[in-house]
Amino acid sequence: MSTIDRRDFLSRLALATAAFSIPPYAFSSVHKPEEFVEVEITHGKIRGIRSDGVAIFKGIPYAGKVSGDRRFRQPAPLESWTGVRDALQLGAPAIQSPRRNEPAPAEDCLFLNVWTPANDNKKRPVMFYSHGGGFVIGSGGSAGQDGTNLARNFDVVVVETNHRLGLLGFLYLDEVAGAGYAGSGNMGMLDIVEGLKWVKENIAQFGGDPGNVMIWGESGGGAKTSCLYAMPAAAPYFNKASIESGPGVRMTTKEIAAETTAMLLKELNIAPKDWRKLLEVPASDLLTMQGKLPFVPPFIEKNKNLGAMRRNYGGFGPVVDGKVLPAHPFDPTAPQISRNKPLLVGWNEDEYTFFAWERKDTEFATLDFNGLQKRLEPQYGGDTKKIIDAYRKANPNASAANIFVAISSITMMGLGSVDIAEKKVKQQGAPVYLYNFGYKSEKKIPGTDYPMGTPHAMDISFKFNNEIPPRDGSEPKESFFGGNKKERFVASHHFAELWTTFARTGKPAAKEVPEWPAYTLENRPTMRIDTTCEVINNRFSQELAMWRSIGKL
């Protein structure tokens, strides 16, 4: 396998996550209804189910159509309905390849799901989750992020949306299509804002507090959360945020987005003045065309020499258009608009092992230190020896494979997370809390004896408290990434309790977990989340000093 740098890993993140289809035995999102529950919301009555102490509503429309003459534009107003509308099945996900156990993808995809302990007018914190999958795949109905256990065990309301993705959600047409398509490069983000507006208007009917809403998300969902944190349109609708393994420090510039649009029009043989022909191209053809263009990563680096955006990015993701997204979310500073909103940010210790699993990379596990040097040189050039030396000094007992995973993992998701924490602290506003998730799965990467450890995406099932013993007392099944060890249930409870307490109060806390101090530039405390949690000051201090010295942080 050839060496792949951080940019390439992240630009392929959507493909990797697309391959990550959780087998049905791993998590069950099928619930036997004990009774039906009816709720009246702004546009009519809906019917959900009550199962195992949780009321569940799926496929609720939160905005109108985005197909036809609404393609690339704000959704049409949602039309009211008469009678009682069933909210028993997931709604269509955004246009993408078919998804396991979900409806066929469709352009009109603006549906959301709600999990609540009860529709009882109690003011519970609302946890509004944005799914991962880069900016091109995923849905609010993925089994691993089922909100049942989080709602039942921690007395919160969970909301997850489907929203436009890829070309249909982020094609920048502002410069060719005029005022009617203003904000076109951020329609996928504005859909999420429509979901937040729906929460403001309706969540009290589900026992949630519209005045206490936490936005959170992992991978691409973390980057979406970074954008929401910086968007004026989203500001009135949430109170705190968590950015997990997807630090959206920078997004696509208008200039690069315009180049991507020009590339697309050329590929379709459409002159810019005839851009309206895009409205007639079948969505399936647009999906095929989307696959020919690069993917946008959850965050974009600066060129350390030019101080400018690298120009080899294309694809479709949020655009810094100066209006919907006024500036890069965390560059050059944390967004002033969210100065007083508490923030969680962090990453998994072994992010890279997910990508090794997905790409069938077994070579890394056999590296010696000479091989490590050769593997990293194409990416880091003259800095390679300095990087390896710093890691060997900080981790004297680590193997070459261990050091490769550590370097790859921190450069993918860690440096951006630290950058966000530091910039948030410098605002001197609401606190920011930095974490590492570190529970170690014993499962081996196929073709190697190297354990998965804490791979990218493993945190999803843990923080949703979906790593728990079966309620019927039967023997637990193996977790897809988390393995067989029963200690994972303790780590999952810690993770979920920390996050739900943060949603409730703005400060993460849990029983049997040390007090988690806010991040400061003096002590740099990091909470390591595991079966036993611990606060580590100045974690990775030697490694981070080295990354700063070569301009990577």
**DSSP reduced 3-state for 270:** coil
How far out from the chain centre does Cα 146 lie?
15
Single out the residue of 504, 499, 552 nearest to residue 527, CA to CA. 499
Q: Vertex 436, ends 430 and 441: CA angle to 5°?
A: 150
Q: Are 124 and 209 in contact (CB under 8 A)?
A: yes
- SS3 for 327-373, per residue? CECCECCCCHHHCCCCEEEEEECCCHHHHHHHHCCCHHHHCCHHHHH
Query: Is 184 noted as a catalytic residue in this protein?
Result: no
- SS3 for 525-551, per residue? EEEEECCCCEEEECCCHHHHHHHHHCC
Query: Is 21 noted as a catalytic residue in this protein?
Result: no
Single out the residue of 152, 160, 119, 145 nearest to residue 52, CA to CA. 152
Question: What are the φ/ψ torsions at residue 442 (nearest 5 degrees)?
Answer: -85, -10
* Options 11, 219, 408, 492, the catalytic residue: 219
Residues 6+ apart with CB under 8 A from 322: 254
* Options 351, 358, 422, 467, the catalytic residue: 351
The C-alpha R_g of the chain, in whole angstroms, comes to 22
Query: Is 219 noted as a catalytic residue in this protein?
Result: yes
Per the structure block, which two tokens stand in for 489? 């249930």
* Options 131, 456, 493, 494, the catalytic residue: 456
The Cα 273–Cα 253 span in angstroms is 22
The Cα 467–Cα 488 span in angstroms is 7
Residues 6+ apart with CB under 8 A from 121: 204, 207
Q: Vertex 92, ends 164 and 225: CA angle to 5°?
A: 40
Cis peptide before 342, with omega less than 30 degrees from 0?
no
Contacts 24+ apart (CB under 8 A), 521-526: 521/422, 521/425, 521/426, 524/434, 525/434, 526/346, 526/434, 526/435, 526/436
Q: Are 495 and 504 in contact (CB under 8 A)?
A: no
Beta strands in 360-485 (DSSP E): 432-437, 441-444, 451-453
Active site positions, annotated: 219, 351, 456
